[in-house]
Amino acid sequence: MFQDIRRLLAAMTLGVIVALGAMAQSDAAFSHFWVGKSYYNPAAAGELNAINMNLGSRMQWVDFKHAPMSFYLTVDMPYKLLGIKFGAGVKAEFERIGLYTNTRIGAQIAYKRKLGRNMLLSVGIQPGIFSQTFRGKEVIMPEDDAHQGNDEAIPKQDVSGTAFDANVGVFFSHPRYWASLAVTHVTSPGIELKVSRESIDYYEFKVSRGYYFAGGGNIPINNTLFEIQPSAMFALTQNVWTAQLATMLRYNRMFNIGVGYRWKDAVTAFIGVNLKDAYIGYAYDYPVSAISKATFGSHEVFVTYKVKLENREKNKNKQKSVRLM
């Protein structure tokens, strides 16, 4: 009985995923949104005085066949041109949702301006491409009165297409707090999915615009080695909104542990460790919706690595001592 219910829920969920995929596309809902800020917002590129590399992966609803899987890599760094501060980076993402495979690649550039001594405001853009494939050969239509096996709206062959895509954003940072506002898929591109480039017939996939507002802080606990790092994000896509909260407790700038909550979706447990210039983090999402009857949760693994850059501004006036020459 329980197995039958799980199979039914899995089939219903996969059907919803495919149906939504034909109408809209939202970005992956990473619980580690506070780590990979530039995943959503290109203005966060060059936030640190280092070559910053983020590798994130999410395995959602692990008990489902064709469940969503997302992997992404971002690399960014700050630089100066004609005395003006910029941030530059690249982003690559691979995602599988049901019978859809999405690949997104973009270049990030951010203009940065100081606001006071320790505050920085950035405005960024990420032009790139959005490539998609639908594995129509794997479509299985049930044979009953409620379904049509020859539905022309569903491809029966593998189809693919590519379109121009772009993200924009504004990012504010301070040593104690940060705030981010980003719009993804600004042009809301339509991807023409074809069997081949020469094919006249095509299926159109419309990518929906996404709006993301996030913020967080770092609160030291006086006379201890502990810090509290709260963060939150609100997202809106295709008139569907979600919100998530996360609170981390860091000890001695090395060990992290925390909890999170995604509205009406999941509770999250975090654990992480800082190893000098690297960070390794893991998150487990346990669903709180009805889907919990068919899955035991989702997993995330994040790895970051930083190569610190020399601060030339501090060293530009240094001179050798005569006694050392």
* 149 domain residue, yes or no: no
* 33 domain residue, yes or no: yes
Which residue segment(s) compose the domain that 59 sits in? 2-141+157-309
pLDDT of residue 224: 93
Share of the chain above pLDDT 70, in %: 83
User: In this predicted model, which residue has the larger pLDDT, 250 or 323?
Assistant: 250
**Size (the chain), residues:** 325
pLDDT of residue 7: 37
pLDDT of residue 322: 43
* 124 domain residue, yes or no: yes
Six token digits for residue 307: 């190569």
Digit-coded pLDDT (tens) for 36-93:
899 999 999 999 999 999 999 999 888 777 788 999 999 999 999 988 999 999 999 9
| Gap between the Cα atoms of 123 and 110, Å rounded | 5
Residue type at 71?
F
Digit-coded pLDDT (tens) for 95-154:
999 889 999 999 999 999 998 888 999 999 999 999 999 988 877 766 666 666 666 667
Q: Identify whether the C-beta of residue 21 lies closer than 8 Å to the C-beta of residue 97.
A: yes
Q: Identify whether the C-beta of residue 130 lies closer than 8 Å to the C-beta of residue 163.
A: yes
Digit-coded pLDDT (tens) for 269-323:
999 999 989 999 999 999 998 777 777 889 999 999 999 987 655 555 554 444 4
**Secondary structure (H, E, C), the chain:** CHHHHHHHHHHHHHHHHHHHHHHCCCCCCCCCCCCCHHHHCHHHCCCCCEEEEEEEEEECCCCCCCCCEEEEEEEEEEEEECCEEEEEEEEEEEEEECCEEEEEEEEEEEEEEECCCCCEEEEEEEEEEEEEEEEHHHCCCCCCCCCCCCCCCCCCCEEEEEEEEEEEEEEEECCCEEEEEEEECCCCCEEEEECCCCCCCCEEEECCCEEEEEEEECEECCCCCEEEEEEEEEEEECCEEEEEEEEEEEECCCEEEEEEEECCCEEEEEEEEEECCEEEEEEEEEECCHHHHCCCCEEEEEEEEEEECCCHHHHCCCCCCHHHC
Mean pLDDT of the chain: 85
Q: Which of 71, 141, 55, 162 is nearest to 99 (CA)?
A: 141
Q: Identify whether the C-beta of residue 261 lies closer than 8 Å to the C-beta of residue 33.
A: no
- As for how many domains the chain has, the answer is 1
* 241 domain residue, yes or no: yes
pLDDT of residue 311: 67
| pLDDT category of residue 9 using cuts at 50, 70 and 90 | very low
Six token digits for residue 275: 């190893």
Q: Identify whether the C-beta of residue 282 lies closer than 8 Å to the C-beta of residue 299.
A: yes
Angle, alpha carbons 239-62-258 (nearest 5°): 75
Six token digits for residue 40: 């959503």
Q: Which of 167, 77, 88, 162 is nearest to 127 (CA)?
A: 167
pLDDT of residue 324: 41
* 265 domain residue, yes or no: yes
- Residue 16: count other Cβ atoms within 10 Å of its Cβ: 11
Angle, alpha carbons 226-227-231 (nearest 5°): 150
| Gap between the Cα atoms of 301 and 84, Å rounded | 35
pLDDT of residue 66: 75
* 170 domain residue, yes or no: yes
- Residue 59: count other Cβ atoms within 10 Å of its Cβ: 16
Whichever domain contains 102, its CATH number is: 2.40.160
- pTM for the model stands at 0.83
* 317 domain residue, yes or no: no
Residues facing 271 on adjacent strands = 257, 282
Q: Which of 25, 120, 26, 124 is nearest to 74 (CA)?
A: 124
* 152 domain residue, yes or no: no
pLDDT of residue 323: 42
